Amino acid sequence: MTSLHGPYARNGRYVGYFPPVAYPYAPPVPAHPWDAAAAYRQAVRRREQPLTFVLVHGSWADAGFWNGVAAELRRQGHTVYAPEYPGHGADFANTAATHAMMSQAIADDIETLDLRNVVLVGHSFGGTIVQKAAELVPERLKRIVFIDAFVLKDGGSLSDELPPEAVALFTQLMEASGNNAIMLPFPFFRDAFVNLASLETARQLYAGIKPEPAGPLFEKLDLKKFYSLTTPKSYVYLTVDNVLPQGLGYGWHPHMSSRLGQFRLIKGYGDHMTQFKTEPKKIADLLYMAGRD
Amino acid sequence: MTSLHGPYARNGRYVGYFPPVAYPYAPPVPAHPWDAAAAYRQAVRRREQPLTFVLVHGSWADAGFWNGVAAELRRQGHTVYAPEYPGHGADFANTAATHAMMSQAIADDIETLDLRNVVLVGHSFGGTIVQKAAELVPERLKRIVFIDAFVLKDGGSLSDELPPEAVALFTQLMEASGNNAIMLPFPFFRDAFVNLASLETARQLYAGIKPEPAGPLFEKLDLKKFYSLTTPKSYVYLTVDNVLPQGLGYGWHPHMSSRLGQFRLIKGYGDHMTQFKTEPKKIADLLYMAGRD
Amino acid sequence: MTSLHGPYARNGRYVGYFPPVAYPYAPPVPAHPWDAAAAYRQAVRRREQPLTFVLVHGSWADAGFWNGVAAELRRQGHTVYAPEYPGHGADFANTAATHAMMSQAIADDIETLDLRNVVLVGHSFGGTIVQKAAELVPERLKRIVFIDAFVLKDGGSLSDELPPEAVALFTQLMEASGNNAIMLPFPFFRDAFVNLASLETARQLYAGIKPEPAGPLFEKLDLKKFYSLTTPKSYVYLTVDNVLPQGLGYGWHPHMSSRLGQFRLIKGYGDHMTQFKTEPKKIADLLYMAGRD
């Protein structure tokens, strides 16, 4: 089984490729102390529909970020792909990777695998990748799902969504790196990205991250086509996410989610990264609730 | 038992009439994975007080909307009335019904039944009915409870609280109806009203709705008397409600709830309609927490 | 055991003094229906680190406010002090107590006990005490934790954070007292401070409160040094707190929390006071999540 979970090389890049299991598959129905558990268990019992997920990770992460969540989704009968993209994973040293290279890679994967009715999921910076990839293969998408992910406005950049202090910090880290990359200091990562984690989990998660190519965080994106797409959209908001200020003019929801126009809203208790590792079933449940018809 | 739950004809209109059960009644104390469960179970064990609830449904609903919640409240020893009002239920074809006719009907029911110490509950559009009905029978009310319900400002209309896109959609649907009514398209209903539901539940709920008389959604209401009432008020906010934008200038809470001045705040995990059907005990618990002394 | 929990007289003032238990101590791992339970239990199993807490209560409270929470924290192996300060507890008749006297008392306690690596926790008005006490003994602090606590801006007063209606109410109550104190009317306390409580619990909590010295609520504080401190900070937000409006320009989080700059965010389901009494383990868990490395 282990080899099936690992990254899979294709076109010179690594692709985290999770092959589908046969459907129907009887999913386990665990008891866990989560708000939406009752609603979800009911859905699971009815096994509404198998979905095809393409999961796009964010900054300071690689395709392995999705390992636990993808395994849970597969266990529930879904087909799951977690592709890698330039500047990340085995390609992490490529700090010259551009946003266009990244979104093109995701679109290429969807075309190469000839995927249809895709539920395209973006986390964090992955939201911006999903916005541009959706412009390239809109006819292959069933729904676009953002989970604590950036939804940039047309002509905007990720850095536009950061408070001035964060822009200053990131600029300083980028300049100090000498190679156009940004590495997060542990104290900042611990309190902003994994604020609900135990120290041990925080350290484990931090040990896995690599410097992030800085360029795409400052690139301004033409998103006119994205905002013309009629593809259904969902926003999953983990309510204790502390990466962005939750006040006026900033934040995942409602500040950026509202740019989607009509969308399906799902909420859960979590921070920016911890529960993807410690409670993958919870995240998988939220993604299913976001992606189903 | 079934006949006791059904609608009851009176004065030519249908009234969902739930007769009280004898009190004291030992309520069941189930274990369910809900945030406020511990606090509530403690209250139940102490069986503080039986209440008299009058439950006022919203748009695209009829008195049957409350069936599950009313049954739970009765099981806990409360007296519950879920009256129908013009333009809804058996009177649904009456799309000329006005807001004054609707709120007068609720006030008439309370007077006809000679109810005292009423906990008057409004859901959604029902909040506007409750505001006006409270002006008519203030001396009969113990507390006014809003649950994801409109609290209009003096001189305002429900449509004032909708974003321009929703006003445009509703206007277009109203004009297309040919009879001054609005029927929600399923995709909009599914993502905005029952976003947490399974597809099966969403379809069941959609199958039960009828076109809504459009007029009252655009009527401007004189609410000077409402804002002079000293009746205690509560606001129950289901935090994943996606009918209104949750951002600046819109939304149930805090945007509209704050108009109540001092009020009791209760929150729960839910969307606009699903949990009233799938988790009626949870909603009943929230309403009891909102209504008790 | 009881005598160990009681207040302890020192320097003519009462100090709620909870002596540490030997560490390591195997904490109980109960199952309870709380969102963050899974994450917390994991942390507990790993028993990351024993902490030294100093808990500073707010208005209309005394050191006994922390009894349940402190007992839980001790059970988990932490050292906990809940000092009393002027104008409260046995000194409640001293309505001339100033803010400087209060914060100095907390700093003195920390120095007298020669505490190091302190997790300094403020609740409600206690947040303002913690801000000033931190200026006096910054080198003794490991982290400053606010739990539904005021974070005043430099030159601001607590009353600046209240809506005009509350300022008017408090001023009226102060003037009516004849001795510069404010006693909360029960209906206001019940709906604003303990909105989730049963009536019985609300009455119990109300029976324990005494008039609050009014002066410090209106004192403007020089907080330049506080805002220069690099001590790590956390904010715990109980999301159903109804003491302050949750809308624009008011409230615990994000309105006041955002003044902390980078901080660790933790959230839980609760109101301003109830769960400290009814679910002390839940509050203790949140404080540990806020205080650990």
Distance CA A145, CA C86 (A): 54
Range in A64-78, C10-24, C267-281 the model is least confident about: C10-24
Local structure of A235: helix, strand or coil? strand
What are C112-132's pLDDT values in tens digits? 999 999 999 999 999 999 999
Of B48, B253, B266, Cβ closest to residue C200: B48
Q: What is the pLDDT of residue C247?
A: 87
What are C208-258's pLDDT values in tens digits? 899 999 999 999 999 999 999 999 999 999 999 999 999 889 999 999 999
Q: Which residues pair with B15 in a beta bridge?
A: B8, B83
Contacts (Cβ under 8 Å, ≥6 apart) of C280: C67, C68, C69, C71, C72
List CB contacts (< 8 A) between B269 and chain A: 35-36, 267
Q: What is the pLDDT of residue B247?
A: 87
Strands (E), chain B: 7-10, 13-18, 52-56, 79-83, 118-124, 141-149, 181-182, 212-213, 233-238, 264-268
Lookup result for tokens 């209060």: C102
CATH, range C50-291: 3.40.50.1820
Range in A126-140, B46-60, C140-154 the model is least confident about: B46-60
More confident residue, C19 or B255: B255
Q: What is the pLDDT of residue B41?
A: 52
Nearest to C284 by CA among C75, C73, C142: C73
Of A33, A195, A248, Cβ closest to residue C265: A195
Local structure of C213: helix, strand or coil? strand
pLDDT > 80? residue C87: yes
Within a 13 Å sphere around the CA of B237, how many CA atoms are in the beta-carbon half? Answer: 24
Q: pLDDT category, B22, cuts 50, 70, 90?
A: very low
Rounded to an integer, the average pLDDT of C150-173 is 96
Q: Which chains touch A (3 or more CB pairs under 8 A)?
A: B, C
Across the interface, whether the CB atoms of A258 and B247 are under 8 A apart is answered yes
Across the interface, whether the CB atoms of C39 and A198 are under 8 A apart is answered yes
Q: pLDDT category, B285, cuts 50, 70, 90?
A: very high
Strands B79-83 and B13-18: antiparallel
Query: Cβ of B32 under 8 Å from any chain A Cβ?
Result: yes
Distance CA B211, CA B99 (A): 16
Q: pLDDT category, C45, cuts 50, 70, 90?
A: low
Distance CA B41, CA B23 (A): 18
Tell me the two tokens of residue C45.
Answer: 């199993």
Q: What is the pLDDT of residue A45?
A: 53
Of A191, A199, A240, Cβ closest to residue C263: A191
Query: Cβ of A274 under 8 Å from any chain C Cβ?
Result: yes
At residue B212, φ and ψ (nearest 5 deg) are -100, 135
Distance CA A118, CA A111 (A): 11
Give the B window 35-64 contacts with C, CB below 8 Å: 35-39, 42-43, 46, 48-49
Q: What is the pTM of this model?
A: 0.86
List CB contacts (< 8 A) between B34 and chain C: 33
More confident residue, B37 or C93: C93
Q: Which chains touch B (3 or more CB pairs under 8 A)?
A: A, C
Compute the mean pLDDT over every residue in chain C, rounded to the nearest whole number: 87
List CB contacts (< 8 A) between B36 and chain C: 196, 269
Query: Domain residue spans in chain C?
Result: 50-291
Distance CA C68, CA A118 (A): 51
A280-291 helix and A67-75 helix, angle to the nearest 10 degrees: 60
What is the least distance, in Å, from the CA of C195 to any CA of chain B? 6
Which percentage of chain C shows pLDDT scores above 70? 84
What are A256-287's pLDDT values in tens digits? 999 999 999 999 999 999 999 999 999 999 99
Nearest to A218 by CA among A107, A87, A98: A98
Distance CA A256, CA A152 (A): 7
CB count within 10 Å of CB B228 equals: 9
Q: Which chains touch C (3 or more CB pairs under 8 A)?
A: A, B
